[in-house]
Amino acid sequence: MADIIQLLPDNIANQIAAGEVIQRPASAVKELLENAVDAGATEIKLIIQDAGKQLVQVIDNGKGMSETDARMCFERHATSKIRNIDDLFHIRTMGFRGEALASIAAVAQVELKSKRAEDETGTCIEIENSMVKKQEPVAAANGTSIAMKNLFFNVPARRNFLKSNAAEMRHIVDEFMRVALSFPNIFFSLSSSGTQIFHLEKGSLKQRIVQVLGQHYNARLVTVQEKTDYLNIYGFVGKPDTAKKTRGDQYFFVNNRFIRSAYLNHAVMSAFKEMIPADSFPLYALFIDLDPTQVDINVHPTKQEIKFEDEKIVYAFVQAAVKHALAQFSITPTLEFDLDPGIQQLDAINKPFTDDKKDAALSSDLAKNFTQKNQAHFIQPTDKTELKHWKDFFEPGGNSQSGNERSASGSQGFSGSTGQKEEKFESLLDKLKKQDPGSDSPLPTHYTPFAKQLVDDNALLFQLHCTYIVAPTARGFMLIHQQLAHERVLYERFVTAAHGKSIATQRSLFPVTLQLSASDAVLLQELTTDLNQLGYLIEPFGANAFVIQGTPADVSAGNEKLAIESLLEQFKHFSSDLKFSRREKLIRSLAWQQAIKPGTPLSLEEMRMLTTDLFKCNQPNVTAGGNPTYIEFKKDYLEQLFKR
């Protein structure tokens, strides 16, 4: 009987290895950037075409390679870092396994140009499907340029699994940002299809964080710096007001290598405990330096998950370092007893209190009222015009209304703001009418009997804790959660718009410019088409900038920028759930972002319209996420509670 076990050919073995190392263009970006760093480069340029599917090119000014090294680097298990097994546990460099370039060459067409400073000419090598197609001397600058073209050209099944260009580009930007944050002393640039996305001059770590994550963090970072015999921790955490609903801006580096660690993340979260909401995530970029023998970086193919020799010690150090930093920079709540230096410059402090000024102060009506016995409650009438119509402050629009009128008009809705009484705000009722022009249409046939009676009889509704709507019915009463109910209404409206007639756009008289981080800019670019269908009109405006030309009618003027930023955060919050399509995530994000929040007072008419709209929905009882929108309390259940 013939033997059935045989060795795989090198090109097939390399393709199998590539499946472990090169999963998408971003994987190649990571490996090539790390090799450039290890080559001692001070300038590294990344060039992308077609989100890396067509081209990923890294150009560095590092030490370059000899002709032999240029050929050997594509062989499997070729490495310049390891001579014996003990070296594997003392790794301080980035790329070392010796499989990355062999894996890339197995699934792409690769062109390498490299030259050392001491050589007169460089070497050019072209490889395709692990086979060398050309090798020749070439004129080249000192350093290395490696171009990976047509990824997975020979494995079409793998290429079909790649996501959209915008999604793949986001992964590339993430990998680029991680390496760029690790090495602020190196110049990095990233260009995509001829457009420069990043131009990062070498500088301090704080400068690099601000360059990468956004200028708005410049004054909102707290320094973390702790040195011990066992390990050193340094970097920055964001002040509590920078916390977001998603964990995007969180970076841990161990010996300058980006890692993922839920354990260490918990250490940071515990340091921020009671300083940020439970569902928020703080910003941090923290670096841990320790002896390589105390950490195993070979537990995962991408080397992003590692194992510490003593995790509890590292956890305790991280938690203590962050706590100390927050306390040291007075981020934790404290009472401030120091006198503001600006007070010393006031006239009342600088100028002497003369006898004339003292007599004038004592003879004033105000002084008499508070010095005469039992007269502190009495205030003399005044002719000051600013106090003449003090009652108007408490009346909506400055008009005097009857109690019934006031209860009907109620609050100004969730677009109002304390202290801005001069400005007239749009009521929630108007917003609801704009959102659903067909509010007067007949009730659908699936209307439940008690809900139909609720609307037909114009039952009296009232609000509880500015969060719930209590609605009596023939069988008892309903307790409606106003935010969840509004989410269901908006969700169905957006689903209809996404698959049919788009929502009307209200053009802005003064378009708003929105500046985003590079990763958020790529995300917004990906969502633009769907957003246009849902009533937003957003146009690119240079690098990482957009102009908001129009919004849906229910977005208040002046809130356009906040609405988009909140939408992006909520979309990233949903992005972890892979079972949803991009459009579904967007619709759910918009419904959450635009729904009225707990704490918003509603008038009777606003409550009635929201309740009516809820029971016109195809599925009024739950949100898209499965949370109940209302709970019904039946009469017989209530009687049981009171043992009747």
| Predicted confidence (pLDDT) per residue in 348-357, tens digit | 544 555 666 6
In 3-state terms, what secondary structure has residue 506? Answer: strand
Average pLDDT over residues 452-456: 52
Would you state the structure tokens that stand for residue 77, as one six-digit string?
A: 């298990």
In 3-state terms, what secondary structure has residue 279? Answer: coil
Rounded CA separation 384/297 (Å)? 75
- Which of the listed ranges 18-27, 43-52, 255-264 does the model predict with the highest average pLDDT? 43-52
Of the chain, the percentage scoring pLDDT greater than 70 comes to 70
Yes or no: say if 109 and 126 are a contact pair by the CB < 8 Å rule. yes
Predicted confidence at residue 43, as pLDDT, reads 96
Which amino acid, residue 381? P
**Continuous segment of H or E residues that includes residue 141:** none
Rounded CA separation 542/538 (Å)? 13
Predicted confidence at residue 541, as pLDDT, reads 83
Q: Does domain 429-644 have CATH number 3.30.1370.100?
A: yes
Rounded CA separation 421/43 (Å)? 55
Residue 380 has pLDDT above 70, yes or no: no
Predicted confidence at residue 83, as pLDDT, reads 46
In 3-state terms, what secondary structure has residue 409? Answer: helix
Fold of 10-203: Heat Shock Protein 90 (3.30.565)
Would you state the structure tokens that stand for residue 256, as one six-digit string?
A: 């300058």
List Cβ neighbours of 519 (8 Å cut-off, separation of 6 or more).
170, 173, 174, 177, 248
Predicted confidence at residue 344, as pLDDT, reads 43
Q: Do 10-203 and 429-644 come out as alike in CATH topology?
A: no
Yes or no: say if 110 and 56 are a contact pair by the CB < 8 Å rule. no
Yes or no: say if 100 and 23 are a contact pair by the CB < 8 Å rule. no
Query: The whole model's pTM is what?
Result: 0.65
Would you state the structure tokens that stand for residue 35, as one six-digit string?
A: 């090799």
Predicted confidence at residue 432, as pLDDT, reads 58
How many CB atoms neighbour CB 444 within 10 A? Answer: 12
Give the domain ranges of the chain: 10-203, 206-328, 429-644
Q: Is the dihedral of CA 251, 255, 261, 267 positive or negative?
A: negative
Nearest to 14 by CA among 65, 70, 71, 78: 78
CA dihedral 20, 25, 28, 30 (to 10 degrees): -100
Average pLDDT over residues 199-218: 89
Residue 89 has pLDDT above 80, yes or no: no
What is the average pLDDT value for the chain, to the nearest integer?
77
Rounded CA separation 222/118 (Å)? 45
- pLDDT (tens digit, 9 = 90+) per residue, 100-143? 788 888 888 999 999 999 999 999 999 988 888 999 999 999 99
Fold of 206-328: Ribosomal Protein S5; domain 2 (3.30.230)
Average pLDDT over residues 517-534: 85
Predicted confidence at residue 310, as pLDDT, reads 81
Would you state the structure tokens that stand for residue 299, as one six-digit string?
A: 């537990």
375 or 598, higher pLDDT: 598
- pLDDT (tens digit, 9 = 90+) per residue, 228-243? 888 899 999 999 888 8
Of the chain, the percentage scoring pLDDT greater than 90 comes to 26
Residue 87 has pLDDT above 90, yes or no: no
The CA-to-CA distance between both ends of the chain, in Å, stands at: 87
Residue 18 has pLDDT above 50, yes or no: yes
Predicted confidence at residue 485, as pLDDT, reads 93
